[in-house]
Chains A and B, each alone.
Chain A
Amino acid sequence: MTDTRPIHSVVLVKQVPDTHNITGEVMTKDGTMNRGALPAIFNPEDLNALEMALEIKGRHGGTVTVITMGPPKAANILRESLFRGADKVVLLTDRKFAGADTLATSVVLQLAVQKLGQFDLVLCGRQAIDGDTAQVGPQTAEKLGIPQITYAESVIDIADGKITAQRALDSGSEIVRCTLPCLLTVVGSANTPRPASVRRQMERKLSAAPGEYAALRAKWPEFETDEAVDAFLAKHDLKIPVWTAEEIGATEGTIGLAGSPTQVHKINFVVLESTESKTISPTPEAIAAMVAELVHEYIVG
């Protein structure tokens, strides 16, 4: 029995530095990352969360709204969400959000989700490839006061106000059921995110937040003023809404650096360098000795 009621999903996404492709120049002397040197990408598992939401929309109808907290250029992943099928996006940007740890981030996300109004599901990636904490999803669920299914790999069914989903665990999988609304954190093995639709991209490529009008005019000189851009975007429903701390009703001290109890105690800068190489002779004995050494060093086995 599949529920015929439309399902309204909110997907929480993050723009992250592409830490999967780190090169030597990216790390600074003190062991932190030079973010400017890395391309900013859509956090991979957030794409899986978006895909899951779009698949649910495909089956049940409803809407998919994507929100992100980040600097103005995080609008890029919101556009990407629109190209892939999101109905609506919201950019949460404010200097007051800066320096947030996972707790302060979840406060902002909670307020934004609540401001959106009624929803059935909140989905986000299991974790972001920059912080790798996997905390923001669970914390946001707690703040919203809704149940959560972490490590979700597939949605088996949504019916009678309940969702049945499969969780990916280290040792296997687990099928759980909980009431809606709830929050899902989605793992990378859940699906293959669909590509952007060229048609949607042609239709929505000018989508922009107000802070981006100058850049948009530089590319499209046909718009002579910001007002002309604004009028065009408004006419074609292409404005990306921006919400500030004030607009979501966040109180000082709970957000940004001030709302972040996390302190980084110490950063260890570990340099892994291969200083020597070994040539293994192509004989059964030499290969056996190499395998034994790797097992002994706990590299394999």
Chain B
Amino acid sequence: MSENFFFDNPDLQFRLEQLDLREALEFKEKGYSESDLYPGAPRNYPDAKDNYRIVLEVLGEICGERVAPRAAEADEEGAHFENGEVTYAAATLDAIEALRSAELFGAMLPREFGGLNLPESIYQMMVEVVARAESGLMTVYGLQEIASLIDEYGDPETKARVLPKFARGEVSGAMVLTEADAGSDLGAVATKATLDEASGQWHLNGVKRFITNGLADVSVVLARSEEGSTDARGLSMFLVEKDATVKIRRIENKMGIHASPTCEIQYTNTPAILIGKRRFGLMRYSMNLMNGARLAVAAQALGIAEAAYREADDYSKERIQFGKPIRSLPAVGRLLLGMKVDLEATRALLAETARWVDLWKVYERAVTDGTAPDMDRARARHKQCQTLAETMTPMVKYCSTEMGNRVCYQSMQVHGGVGYMREFNIERLFRDVRITNIYEGTSQLQVVAAIGKLLNRSLDPLFADWGAAEYPADMAAEKAILVELTATYQKAVDALKAQSDRDRVDYYACDLVDCAVWLTCAWLLLRDTNVLEAKKPVARAYVASIAPRLRASGDVVIGANAVPLEAISALLG
């Protein structure tokens, strides 16, 4: 049977079926009015969902048949750097060619620029499929937020010039933010942007580091436009179309994602175009990019975890020890079960998060353009969706990338010694996944991004809805546990909110975020049991696994013991 990474993944198919995009698409498809303008535009909601299925089927086939079989080769060969030129591995070039001929680039761009006008939720499913096949390729394919940023904030002339090239897959993008001394602290960016007042032309000078896909033809670059400023308020966002003034100095020799070139770039009087407004470079545009990129990295980790789980699942069937396949041993079964349930819980969280992001985006546009039928309602809904999207995006980035690392670790355990050998895919996956909880903001930074929102009780409306909903009778025990855990969580929120010692809030924030992630995933899985019998054991196993941990973490947060903080100063100096 031919390999298809969508057809062989019932859980992903289930997520697509369950994904309710009616509200978002009503805006995004402008009341389905584009079907007369563009032959591929949907005539109605079922037509749109059918189009999304097509996208995932075609992508699933390309990834299963053409990309995944060459993943080890792409890793082995890696990207090259010679005489100032970066080239992709042969397998990466072939994969890009396949994606291009399937017209899968420009996923989220509007149709007027040749895009597919796909919602974020579908795009993230695509990223998962790509990452499962080859995690390095994801960084080339999964940077489509850049085109979206240009679409959102670029001037009409730039958009008309650049966006159709993105949609045809002729150019790729790079997000050029990081510098040697500005990593997590992007407010310290020093690359200078100077405006020639006479001609109105901006020029960039400076060096950027750790730039994923830095060889891209079109980049968005964060630079200091306000002379004398030292913080985030002096930064603006610029668009650079690669020319001779852009020099790649080197590419990094990394632990994993070898197919993805990570570049050091030098700009010398490089002509640049201002995107949006001055001084909003970090606060608005980088954050906008970063939110999308965080979802994409969550999807990337999920894809790698899916691949790792399958490696373990297959190996545990073939490997005979003590006269039987090792999967029949409870110790191995425990590992496999943990992986499978974690994967499905994370996939549910990612789909839910992306759905709120879609709603946020469509209402943002409706509120800005004044196109909603009921503007007061639209503004309220916009605020609500934004709060949930901004809460859940760092949550899912944190949850998925930590899960991905855990699953790869467990998969290697299932393999035993051979998993440590280069011939086995898990060795590569283990290396590849390690970057996911580091780049686009470390897990520690995701906690910082989420905690403020959680302390403002941003998830309460969801918990209230889910608590009030009906579930199958045979899931009553799980529902009762989740009601109890929700109360525990809320006590923990109250306690941390009341905590006056800022260091203790920061120290215990990750425990509260853990609780929020577990609780949200558990409710989502319980909700799934209303429509799919097969989700019952998943929900039961998940609730059984997280309940005691959530109670314990709740206690930790409520207690907010000062001892570790004292120990830090006593022991670490």
Query: What residues of chain B lie closer than 8 Å to A196, measured between beta carbons?
Result: 58, 102
Known: A200-B103, A202-B40, A222-B43. A195 touches B54 (CB 8 A): no
Would you give the 0/1 interface string for B96-107, flagging 1 where the beta carbon is closer than 8 Å to chain A?
001001111000
Known: A200-B103, A202-B51, A222-B44. A195 touches B61 (CB 8 A): yes
Query: Which of A196, A197, A202, A203: most chain B Cβ within 10 A?
Result: A202
Q: Is B84 an interface residue (CB 8 A)?
A: no
How many Å from the CB of A198 to the closest CB on chain B?
5
Beta-carbon contacts under 8 Å, B47-81 to A: 47, 50-51, 54-55, 58-59, 61-62, 66
Q: Is A201 an interface residue (CB 8 A)?
A: yes
Q: A220 to B43, alpha carbons, bound, how many Å?
A: 11
* Residue from A194, A202, A220, A236 in contact with B54 in the complex, judged by beta carbons closer than 8 Å: A202
Query: What residues of chain A lie closer than 8 Å to B101, measured between beta carbons?
Result: 194-195, 197
Would you give the 0/1 interface string for B101-131, flagging 1 where the beta carbon is closer than 8 Å to chain A?
1111000000000001000000000000000
Q: A196 to B40, alpha carbons, bound, how many Å?
A: 14
Find out whether the CB atom of B54 lies under 8 angstroms from the CB atom of A205.
yes
Q: A201 to B50, alpha carbons, bound, how many Å?
A: 11
Q: A205 to B43, alpha carbons, bound, how many Å?
A: 13
Query: Which of A192, A195, A200, A205: most chain B Cβ within 10 A?
Result: A195
Query: What residues of chain A lie closer than 8 Å to B54, measured between beta carbons?
Result: 198, 201-202, 205
Query: What residues of chain B lie closer than 8 Å to A202, measured between beta carbons?
Result: 39-40, 51, 54, 116
Q: A267 to B218, alpha carbons, bound, how many Å?
A: 64
Per the CB 8 Å criterion, the residue count for chain A at the interface is 16
Q: A199 to B43, alpha carbons, bound, how many Å?
A: 15
Find out whether the CB atom of B1 lies under 8 angstroms from the CB atom of A199.
no
Q: A195 to B39, alpha carbons, bound, how many Å?
A: 20
Q: A198 to B104, alpha carbons, bound, how many Å?
A: 7
Q: A199 to B98, alpha carbons, bound, how many Å?
A: 14
Known: A21-B1, A205-B50, A222-B44. A198 touches B58 (CB 8 A): yes
* Minimum CB distance partner of B115 in chain A: A199
Query: What residues of chain A lie closer than 8 Å to B59, measured between beta carbons?
Result: 198
How many Å from the CB of B42 to the closest CB on chain A?
8
* Minimum CB distance partner of A197 in chain B: B103
Find out whether the CB atom of A195 lies under 8 angstroms from the CB atom of B62.
yes
Q: A201 to B101, alpha carbons, bound, how many Å?
A: 12
Query: What residues of chain A lie closer than 8 Å to B103, measured between beta carbons?
Result: 197-200
Beta-carbon contacts under 8 Å, B1-54 to A: 1, 39-40, 43-44, 46-47, 50-51, 54
Find out whether the CB atom of A236 lies under 8 angstroms from the CB atom of B39.
yes
Query: What residues of chain B lie closer than 8 Å to A220, measured between beta carbons?
Result: 46-47
Query: Which of B50, B61, B66, B102: most chain A Cβ within 10 A?
Result: B102
Query: What residues of chain A lie closer than 8 Å to B66, measured between beta carbons?
Result: 192, 195
How many Å from the CB of B164 to the closest CB on chain A?
13
Query: Which of A197, A198, A222: most chain B Cβ within 10 A?
Result: A198
Known: A195-B101, A196-B102. A203 touches B62 (CB 8 A): no
Beta-carbon contacts under 8 Å, B469-484 to A: none
* Minimum CB distance partner of A238 in chain B: B39
Q: A195 to B103, alpha carbons, bound, how many Å?
A: 9
How many Å from the CB of B93 to the closest CB on chain A?
13
* Minimum CB distance partner of B1 in chain A: A21
Q: A21 to B50, alpha carbons, bound, how many Å?
A: 28
Beta-carbon contacts under 8 Å, A163-200 to B: 192, 194-200
Find out whether the CB atom of A203 lies under 8 angstroms from the CB atom of B98.
no
Find out whether the CB atom of B102 lies under 8 angstroms from the CB atom of A198.
yes
* Minimum CB distance partner of A236 in chain B: B39
Find out whether the CB atom of B61 lies under 8 angstroms from the CB atom of A198.
no
Query: What residues of chain A lie closer than 8 Å to B47, measured between beta carbons?
Result: 220
Beta-carbon contacts under 8 Å, A193-248 to B: 194-203, 205, 220, 222, 236
How many Å from the CB of B457 to the closest CB on chain A?
41
How many Å from the CB of A270 to the closest CB on chain B?
24
Find out whether the CB atom of A203 lies under 8 angstroms from the CB atom of B102.
no
Find out whether the CB atom of B1 lies under 8 angstroms from the CB atom of A195.
no
How many Å from the CB of B209 to the closest CB on chain A?
36
How many Å from the CB of A179 to the closest CB on chain B?
31
Find out whether the CB atom of A198 lies under 8 angstroms from the CB atom of B98.
no
Q: A21 to B1, alpha carbons, bound, how many Å?
A: 6
Query: What residues of chain B lie closer than 8 Å to A197, measured between beta carbons?
Result: 58, 101-103
Query: What residues of chain A lie closer than 8 Å to B39, measured between beta carbons?
Result: 202-203, 236
How many Å from the CB of B36 to the closest CB on chain A?
10
How many Å from the CB of B69 to the closest CB on chain A?
12
Q: A225 to B104, alpha carbons, bound, how many Å?
A: 34
Query: What residues of chain A lie closer than 8 Å to B98, measured between beta carbons?
Result: 194-195
Q: A203 to B43, alpha carbons, bound, how many Å?
A: 11
Q: A268 to B40, alpha carbons, bound, how many Å?
A: 51
Find out whether the CB atom of A195 lies under 8 angstroms from the CB atom of B58.
yes
How many Å from the CB of A279 to the closest CB on chain B?
14
Q: A49 to B50, alpha carbons, bound, how many Å?
A: 29
Q: A195 to B65, alpha carbons, bound, how many Å?
A: 10
Q: A201 to B44, alpha carbons, bound, how many Å?
A: 17
Query: What residues of chain A lie closer than 8 Å to B102, measured between beta carbons?
Result: 194-198
Q: A192 to B43, alpha carbons, bound, how many Å?
A: 34
Beta-carbon contacts under 8 Å, B268-326 to A: none
Find out whether the CB atom of B61 lies under 8 angstroms from the CB atom of A203.
no
Q: A192 to B91, alpha carbons, bound, how many Å?
A: 14
Q: A45 to B166, alpha carbons, bound, how many Å?
A: 33
Q: A203 to B1, alpha carbons, bound, how many Å?
A: 27
Query: What residues of chain B lie closer than 8 Å to A198, measured between beta carbons?
Result: 54-55, 58-59, 102-104, 116
* Minimum CB distance partner of A200 in chain B: B103
Q: A201 to B40, alpha carbons, bound, how many Å?
A: 8
* Minimum CB distance partner of B65 in chain A: A195
* Minimum CB distance partner of B102 in chain A: A195
Query: What residues of chain A lie closer than 8 Å to B46, measured between beta carbons?
Result: 220
Q: A197 to B104, alpha carbons, bound, how many Å?
A: 8
Q: A200 to B39, alpha carbons, bound, how many Å?
A: 9
Find out whether the CB atom of B40 lies under 8 angstroms from the CB atom of A199.
yes
Q: A194 to B103, alpha carbons, bound, how many Å?
A: 11
* Minimum CB distance partner of B107 in chain A: A198
Q: A195 to B50, alpha carbons, bound, how many Å?
A: 18
* Minimum CB distance partner of B44 in chain A: A222
Q: A21 to B47, alpha carbons, bound, how many Å?
A: 33
Q: A201 to B62, alpha carbons, bound, how many Å?
A: 15
How many Å from the CB of B92 to the closest CB on chain A?
15
How many Å from the CB of A193 to the closest CB on chain B?
10
Q: A199 to B106, alpha carbons, bound, how many Å?
A: 11
* Minimum CB distance partner of B167 in chain A: A199
Q: A155 to B295, alpha carbons, bound, how many Å?
A: 45
Query: What residues of chain B lie closer than 8 Å to A192, measured between beta carbons?
Result: 66
How many Å from the CB of A277 to the closest CB on chain B?
15
How many Å from the CB of A263 to the closest CB on chain B?
35
Q: A202 to B53, alpha carbons, bound, how many Å?
A: 10
Q: A198 to B58, alpha carbons, bound, how many Å?
A: 7
* Minimum CB distance partner of A201 in chain B: B54
Query: What residues of chain B lie closer than 8 Å to A203, measured between beta carbons?
Result: 39-40
Query: What residues of chain A lie closer than 8 Å to B1, measured between beta carbons?
Result: 21
* Minimum CB distance partner of A18 in chain B: B1
How many Å from the CB of B474 to the closest CB on chain A?
34
| 4 further interface pairs, Cβ-Cβ under 8 Å (given A197-B58, A201-B54) | A192-B66, A194-B101, A197-B102, A198-B104
5 closest Cβ pairs, A-B complex: A202-B40, A203-B39, A195-B102, A199-B103, A194-B101
Interfacial residues, chain B to chain A (CB-CB below 8 A) = 1, 39-40, 43-44, 46-47, 50-51, 54-55, 58-59, 61-62, 66, 98, 101-104, 116
Q: List 28 A-B contacts (CB under 8 A).
A: A21-B1, A194-B98, A194-B101, A195-B58, A195-B61, A195-B62, A196-B58, A196-B102, A197-B58, A197-B101, A197-B102, A198-B54, A198-B59, A199-B40, A199-B116, A201-B58, A202-B39, A202-B40, A202-B51, A202-B54, A202-B116, A203-B39, A203-B40, A205-B50, A205-B54, A220-B46, A222-B44, A236-B39
